[in-house]
Structure 1
Amino acid sequence: MARIFKRHSIHGRLFILFLTSMLALLILVSVLYYQKTTEIIHSKISDLAVKNISQTVGLFDLMLEGYDSVTKSLNSNYELLRLLQERDKEEDAAISVINERTITNILGAVYYSRDDIIGIHVISNKGKVYNYERRFAGIVDINYSSTSWYKKLVESNGKMQWFGLSEGSLINSMLQQDPVFVFGRQLYDLTNYKPIGVVLIETNPKPILAALSNVTISPNSRVYIVDRDNRIIASTEPAVESPEDRKDPPSFAGLPRPKRNDIVVDNQTDQLIVAANAAMAEWTVYSLTPKEDISAELAQTRLYLLFVILAVIIIATFLASLISRNIASPLKLLIREMKQVELGNFRGAVNVKSFEEINSLVSSFNRMVLRMDELIERITLSSISEKNAELQALQSQVNPHFLYNTLDMIYWMLDERENDRLGRVILSLSHMFRYSSDWEEASKTTLGQELDQMRHYMTIIENRLEGRIATEINIDTSWLDAPMPKMTLQPIIENAVKSGLEPLDRLGVLRVYAESDEKTQEFRIVIEDNGVGMSEETLTAIRKSMYEPVFIKNGAVAAPRLAQAQKSEARTRRGIGLPNVHHRLALMFGDNYGLRIDSEQDVGTTVVIVMPMPLPSQHSDSPQH
């Protein structure tokens, strides 16, 4: 894992972050799920136990009601009661035999009315015993009168007595191996309500045990029927062959007992205890289930949950690695390309398809690199253009320093002779030479300096074309510090004078003013003339030459159509310097800025210099100039 990614790399950090978040969420969900599942299982087991014991108690009541009806049918049988009393009195053997047979037939009828009755035993007050059972009929325990069950029946005052589950018959000494369910009651003469004997009925315990088994929840669950004296009536404890293997029954003295028809659920101990009352017999049915068995049912849930957690951890590891790689890979490419930019390579580009934010970052980087490359190229072209302009200025002047020094000397000689007009022309020409030859501070200048150069030029032109040209300059002094390329106004003014105003047969007017647009953040210098204008073909050629890409030829900035415009306008010289000025403005301020030209034949020409709005430090309120 350490070889795949470094711990402090973005891939490693994202992997650890995603994996930790997923595992924390997984553990939290798993714990909550297990707790909730445990609660649900315990709740459902408790509900199931309550439902089972409620159904079992109801079944017990129905069974006991049936047994009670059997004893009541015997106690309400007038013939049986009469015969029992006569048998106690009579002495005739023949009548005695007939009466005994009749009693036996009555008992047989009751016996065959139910499938679960094993034996019916009736004992009169005189000690005569009448039996009806399947095997060994008439073999009665001679000591029955001293037994607890007989005494309990005699003392019951006709109330139903439930003796519960017995390992063998209570009265038949030959049937001691098969378990039976025993109950009985005292028989009364319904006329005078005097006891005439007792009836003891033994039934098959399987229905009782089957009903008890329905209460069990797990194989280790035990169900007990306990009377109000905490004596066990019946239970689901398995039979054992030896006394050593017999387990002591639990003590029911400390267990909760329900009231009336309530059902008690107690899970405070190591067992789940559910108890309910059987109303017919005043019994309490207890279901005891070890909590280990309930927990055992949760073992499969825990095992399944562990497998799920393991599978989710594997999937989470894969997803964390995949997601972190998808995020980190584009960033690695971006970092690698940034190192190339540090080395000076601006030609590369990052192409990735990732998340929207990363794609936006990569796109911004590509645009930044492209912009930097364009700026470097623009600076290079601007530098070449400056050198070219400087070279042209030097080539157009023969030893300018010597010239403007000589012109200064001529000016002072004329001033001594009081020739002011010629002196002003010479002084303006001297200033023009000085301004055009000074390139030590690069090509950037201000609008104020350009206007001064324009005024010197116009001084010469107005003296040469006396009375034919008028100049109007209306520019707020607050704009005089606006930066702009050097030698911007003079080529435009020169073209306006030579190509537009000189051929006129009327007064030519040259207007120069400035305006600003807060909405577009543009600052415009407008040069208008009322000269001869240009043809549509010439105007189109100049515009095309300005907006075509520049290239470098012999150390100069040029455009393909610039040469064509120079050839086609050889006579008028219109448009020779305009493309150069436009490209220099675009190199300095951007492609959105430069020259905008409009012209109409015999009406005039308008050239607009478009620059960005000067900064506040370059623009302060001043009175108009």
Structure 2
Amino acid sequence: MNQSTEALETDFRSVKEMYYTLMSDPIVNTELYREITDKETDPDILYENINSRLRRLTYYNNAWNSHLLRYISLIYNENDYNSINNFSAGSIDGIRTNQTVGSFYSTFQDFIANGTRINTILFSADSTDPLIYFAQDYYEIADYKINGTIVMGVSSEQLARAFNSILKYDGALGIVYDEKGRILCSTAQITPGTQIFDASFGEVPVSRMLQDSSSYFINTTSLSGYNLYSAVIIPNRAVFQDLETQMGGYILIILVLAAAFILLGLFISRKIINYINSLISQMEMIQAGHYEITVPNYGIRELDTLSAIFKKTSSKIGYLINEVYTNELLLREAELKALQAQINPHFLFNTLLCISWNAKSNGDEKTSRMIDALSELLDSKMSFTENSKVTVAYEIEHVNFYLFLQKTRFGDKLRFHVDIPEDFLPLLIPKLCLQPIVENAVVHGLENKTGMGYVTVTAKINAGMLIFTVADNGVGMDPSRMDLDADEPCGARPEHHNIGLKNTNKRIRHLYGEPYGITIRSSENFGTLVVIKLPVDRESEHV
């Protein structure tokens, strides 16, 4: 129904556009041309040229090319008019139409005499004429004085083709009628100009069909621009019959699709069950220790992906079992070695103690102190655990032991200064968080330095943090090694002192979190400054 209405709207719109084209053309409307050009006459505006002008104007008009618009006439007075038609040359219908339109003058000459606007629909006196005529005036633009009349003949048969979409329904009817109830065109054999109340379709009055909404689907729509109306009438039974036919086809398609889906589902489920049974069988073999078993490829991407994963998993399980077995052997061997090594520290410390006593008894206090310092350092490192905490006093004592030993080694080439406030000494810090930094400064900062070297260790509390600084005037380090969070390049050999700094930094962050840790500032040949940030830890218990 909507398609029919839209098609009719398009047809009538193209006819109206043709009227406006003629109305605005300066050659067709001589008075309009005079107003625009300010010329009284123009040699090109001759009656014999207007027909060719009309044909040029209609050349690109859709209504003309589709044979909807079949005839155009410009009527100036009772005896004067120009006309063109879409009939074949010499057609009897064309001659008859010319004669019919000539007789229309008497219908609207009174309108012209009174200066009244003309906008009307005319029906031919010949009942066999297939055209419907739309008469509209054309006038001067200055004072709207009627200059003549434009009559356009529209094919009623072509208009009726707008209703083709409803003709698949048996008993359907489409009509176009004006405000006076006259039928312009229809899908039935109804003469144009017949009143709705006088028309019948299949022995049923059209007027009754328009009012019987219980038996018909009815859609009545106003067509813009011409005071016309379209009505589409379709019997209910025809629609229901069509729906039943369509539903029968839909049901058959649904049944066929359902059967196909069931068969496909059974086929797929059978393949999946076979795959699962195969997988269970392979897993039982793996359980029995046959880790080299593989699952065959099935030609289905998802199942083949699962097969590949199964292969990798079984291989990995075999590898891990072998690795666990190997590690268990290594663990037992390590346990034996650990039992053997338990004797070594006691032997070492007892030996160092004997050497210290011997040195002291011989009056060599310096050697005795060196041995005692070394014993303390070795004991501290052997009893080290990652989460151990000690007092600042304990850590500073071992820093002093280390610096004392290095001072003995380097002599006057090394100077050091440890300045820690006394109220900081009871605070807790991670064990071995300072001594490795001091060791790093001496070994890697001062060993290769020419001239006097010094190391200073200081501490302060700022913004709730306990901050230690270890400074040296050594050779410094490459800036690329100062980022303790960066990974070593692939294949690069890690520097020993860089590993020590990184491990200490990781321990501090592991214990206290991201705000704490180690930062480094260094320049080559100008020394290094290491800053260790720790929380102010006053716990009463510590290891």
Q: Answer yes or no: same fold by TM over 0.5.
A: no
Where on the TM-score scale, by shorter chain, does this alignment land: which range?
Answer: 0.3 to 0.5
Larger Rg: 1
TM-score norm. by structure 2 comes to 0.33
TM-score norm. by structure 1 comes to 0.30
Task: Name the structure, 1 or 2, with higher relative contact order (CA <8 Å, separation 6+).
Answer: 1
